[in-house]
Structures are given as C-alpha cells and as structure tokens.
C-alpha cells in the first residue's frame, strides 16, 4: 500500500473512533511503531485535531470538529464494490429492494472511464444462479423471506424475541434470546437460546410466521444465558482428516453446523471436528450416510462406536 493511500485510510480509521492507540494502528495496518508515529504526526500536520493522552495506556482522542475530505474511491475499490454488489443477485439478502437506486448512486460517484469499466464487467461476469442466455433472468426470486427484514429491525432493538414457527401445519411459539442470524446453504437460520427449555436451538427463517419482542419482565440475563450454554457445551466426538477429494465432496454437501479447518495454505488438507448426538437416530443416520458420501479420502482420528456400527451395517448391505 502506498504511503498516501495508507495515511488516507488511517485518517478515516481514527476519525471513526473516539480513542485509539499507536499499538492499534501498528496492528491494524501492519506497520512498525516508528512508521505509525510518523503517519500520526503527518495527519496532525494536515489539520486533523488530535489530543494526546499521557499514561501507560495512553493514546489519542479525536476532537469532534474534525473534518475529512470527500470520499474518493480508487479504480480497484470501485471494481471491488461493484463486483460484490453484482454477486448479491439471487442471494435473497435483506434491504435490496432499492437495488436500482443504489446502483445509480454508485455510478454517480465515479468518472465516465470508471463507469465504462463497470458496464464491461456487467456484460462479462456471471454469478451462480444467473441464466447465461439471459443474464437478467434469475433462477430464484431476488428478494428474501418477507419476514427477514422485520426480524432484523426488531433484533437491532431487542434480541429477546417471541417467534412463531409453522412446520407441517403445526404452529408453535418459542421465547428466545437470539444468538446469531446467519445464512447457510441458501437458507437463513436463527440460532437462539430457548428461554423456556433453556437450550440452544436452530430455527429456519422460512418457517417463521411472526416475530415480536418478548414482553416478559422476568428475562434471563445475557450473562446467565451464556453461562448455561457454556455448561451445555457439546464434547467433540468426531474428528476426521480430509484429503483433497474429501474436501471437494464436503464443498458439495455438508450438514448444518459442520465446518472444516484447512491445515495447509493450498487448502488441500483439512481437519473436521464436531459433535454427534448418538441418541438422535435421525442425526446418526444422516452423519453415517454423509461419511460414506465423503469417500475414502479421509482418516478417522475419533468416532463414536454408534457411527462405526452404522457404517458397518451400511457396507454389509453390499457384501455378498
């Protein structure tokens, strides 16, 4: 990164914080202490009003009347923004109803040459779910589940929720504390702490029919929730080493909540660690079938006996 570009980014970094230290600047921008100090002095010389704080944990404060120059994007930053924006098509993400308005505002910030580059990229690049014969035709609706935005608006104010789920025409209501809202395998999922049963649950957003703040005054505190969850932590009982063929199979399909950690920079070997609930027959069957799907390019470090028995039964079905 060039010095001018680095200083510009540092200015915005510190302007967005009420307090910062030299150590934070060193770590964030991977520069030496002397370079960080020189950059801060140059930023002060440019007129940004910084107030130094003396002491062991001292740092700098930015005065409220600081003014930064107008935001300007480099060519590569513009391309990165545009490509990331294009990649959101057909992803059922919230707040994209104003896609056309966002695109027009982005184009209005850049030069004609930059606009020409984006037009060309739009003609060349296609992403998953796009019909190559008609790029404007999407395989799926671009809009997410209609309740997703309502869910996000409520959880920004309060993570204690009362959600209503409908599965196979059975309607159930759950009081939860929302831990995470995430997207996996094209599905939006809620990871929440069931305040009634006091355990961790996963709820598909597609099954939501209603969501509202949980009104009870006798709420379990976040600290107590995390303490209960820590006591319920599942002990890892399945550990696998994956080779390149198994990794390729893993990318095609893997059960929810299962992930891998690559063990070399080329991402050709990986390790998988997870918990298998052997008392859940459905989960046990799914994991057994999935291990067979991964193929022979795996090494088993640890596995429950119940899984081995299931694998043996499945393999023996094909024995003469």
Q: What is the pLDDT of residue 184?
A: 76
* 76: Cα separation from own chain's centroid: 23
Q: What is the pLDDT of residue 171?
A: 92
Q: What is the pLDDT of residue 41?
A: 87
Q: What is the pLDDT of residue 246?
A: 93
Q: How many CA atoms lie within 13 A of 59 on its CB side?
A: 14
Q: pTM higher than 0.75 for the full model?
A: no
- Whether domain 3-62 has CATH 1.10.10.10: yes
List the chain domain ranges.
3-62, 75-138, 148-231, 238-316
Q: Name the stretches of the chain with pLDDT < 50.
A: 65
Report the 10 Å Cβ neighbour count for 100: 8
pLDDT 10s digits, 71-124:
677 888 888 888 888 888 777 788 877 676 777 777 777 888 888 888 888 888
Q: What is the pLDDT of residue 54?
A: 62
Q: What is the pLDDT of residue 209?
A: 93
| CATH numeric code, 148-231 | 2.30.30
């Amino acid at each position: 990164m060039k010095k001018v570009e680095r200083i510009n980014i540092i200015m915005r970094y510190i302007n967005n914080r009420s307090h910062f230290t030299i150590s934070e600047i060193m770590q964030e921008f991977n520069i030496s202490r002397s370079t960080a100090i020189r950059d801060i002095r140059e930023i002060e010389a440019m007129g940004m009003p910084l107030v130094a704080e003396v002491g062991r944990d001292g740092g700098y404060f930015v005065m409220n009347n600081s003014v930064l120059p107008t935001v300007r994007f480099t060519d590569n930053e513009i391309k990165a923004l545009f490509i990331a924006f294009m990649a959101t098509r057909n992803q059922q993400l919230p707040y994209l109803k104003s896609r056309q308005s966002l695109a027009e505002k982005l184009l209005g910030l850049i030069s004609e040459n930059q606009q020409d580059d984006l037009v060309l990229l739009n003609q060349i690049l296609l992403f998953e779910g796009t019909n190559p014969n008609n790029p404007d035709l999407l395989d799926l609706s671009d809009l997410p589940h209609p309740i997703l935005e309502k869910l996000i608006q409520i959880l920004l104010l309060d993570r204690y929720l009362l959600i209503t789920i409908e599965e196979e025409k059975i309607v159930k209501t759950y009081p939860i504390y929302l831990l995470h809202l995430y997207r996996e395998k094209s599905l939006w999922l809620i990871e929440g702490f069931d305040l009634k049963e006091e355990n961790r649950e996963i709820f598909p957003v597609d099954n939501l029919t209603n969501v509202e703040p949980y009104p009870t005054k006798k709420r379990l505190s976040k600290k107590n929730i995390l303490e209960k969850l820590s006591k319920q932590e599942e002990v890892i009982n399945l550990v696998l080493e994956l080779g390149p063929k198994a990794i390729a199979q893993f990318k095609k399909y893997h059960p929810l909540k299962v992930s891998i950690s690559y063990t070399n920079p080329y991402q050709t070997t990986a390790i998988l660690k997870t918990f298998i609930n052997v008392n859940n027959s459905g989960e046990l069957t799914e994991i057994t079938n999935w291990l067979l799907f991964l193929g022979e390019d795996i090494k088993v470090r640890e596995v429950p006996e119940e899984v081995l028995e299931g694998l043996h039964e499945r393999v023996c079905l094909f024995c003469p």
